[in-house]
Structure 1
Amino acid sequence: MTAQRQDRCVWRPEIAVIALLAVFCVLCNGIAGAAETTQRIVTDRFTGLAIEGFDPVAYFVNRHPVLGLSEFEASKEGVVWRFHNEGNRASFLAHPEIYGPRFGGYDPVDIARGITVAGNPRFWLVTGERLYLFGFEANRAAFASDPKSFLTKAQARWPSLERDLAQ
């Protein structure tokens, strides 16, 4: 290597420090962002849609998740809900407390543990005439084996957890 090239390849600690700080900030923001839950109803922060745009009434009517359509939207509690048809939209608007996911779409197993974890609309269960969403398939299986126990604990912890969520 020539002396000229050696001068260009000088170790520059200030650049390394800046790069390490940048990586650290990105990682910290990613971890903090994933753990944050500050909404009373689980909402996609990019689209503003509740339960990822799935039709909450379809879980009861069709017995499986169905994506809602943009033609059949409704805004309730500052959240946009999508529905598969006008009938489902009308049913939800008449009775959102029945068709909306219990605990705002947060996983009832984790609520029973004292934490809020967003439920996934693909891991769901209708029991006791209410829709529950789960963050993990294992949580759904655990809940299905003993829903009464989990609901008793979740109902006791939900008021304080809900108060901590942003309005």
Structure 2
Amino acid sequence: MSLGTMTAARQQKKRGFSVAKRVAAAIFAVFLVLPIRIPVAGAAGPLERVVVDPASGLAISGFDPVAYFSRGKAVQGRPELELRAAGVIWRFENEGNRAAFADQPEVYGPQFGGYDPVAIGRDTSVTGHPLIWTIKDERLYLFYDEAARAEFLADPERIIERARQKWPSVAYMISR
């Protein structure tokens, strides 16, 4: 049936329906080309919910996250060598460290955003201290105290797995 043989009311309804279908198709097409980030259950990206020092506004209290790997120690970053990533300010000891972090923040940033993985495994958020740390499987972990660090070192795989399982709910509580 052509539009010429329909009543005026049906023609209007038919035109409205086809416009609605075209709009819906356009919206659907946009969603097909947009990148969609789907969080993985238990994923613990290092720059997700990063601990920020409330006094300075700096990630991990201004310590250089790359220096833990390159120098094997906690080194205070310099104010003139800052970089904004994940919505927070990071400081670095030298330009090379800043460039390395800018290139691969997921490698150098502390796991669980700098929260203590032992506490996360207990379903709570406790800020890790930048002077109490370890590197396990090329990832940086910060701890609240030496007791938490010792517990982690006694069975790191179990602690990491448990923290990964609990992280989504803990991260949700942090963001509220």
TM range (shorter): 0.7 to 0.9
| Root mean square deviation, CA, Å | 1.2
What's the secondary structure of 1:82's corresponding residue?
Answer: strand
Structure 1 residues without counterparts, runs of 5 or longer: 1-38
- Aligned structure 1 segments of 4 or more residues deviating by more than 4 angstroms: none
Q: How does 1:16-27 map to 2 (within 5 A)?
A: none
* Aligned equivalents of 1:122, 1:165: Cα separation in 2: 22
* Aligned equivalents of 2:56, 2:107: Cα separation in 1: 24
Q: Which structure's CA Rg is the greater one?
A: 2
1:50 has 2:50 as partner: no
Identity across aligned pairs (percent)?
A: 51
How far residue 159 of structure 1 moved from its aligned partner, in angstroms, is: 1.2
Structure 2 residues without counterparts, runs of 5 or longer: 1-47
Q: How does 1:98-109 map to 2 (within 5 A)?
A: 98-109=107-118
1:151 has 2:151 as partner: no
* Aligned equivalents of 1:116, 1:128: Cα separation in 2: 22
* Aligned equivalents of 2:86, 2:54: Cα separation in 1: 15
What's the secondary structure of 1:43's corresponding residue?
Answer: coil
Question: Aligned partner of 1:120: which letter?
Answer: H
Where does residue 19 of structure 1 map in the other structure?
none
1:124 has 2:133 as partner: yes
1:164 has 2:173 as partner: yes
Match of residue 76, structure 1, among 81, 85, 91: 85
Q: Cα deviation per residue 1:45-101 (whole Å; 9 max; x = unaligned)?
A: 111001110000000000000000011100112111000000000100111111000
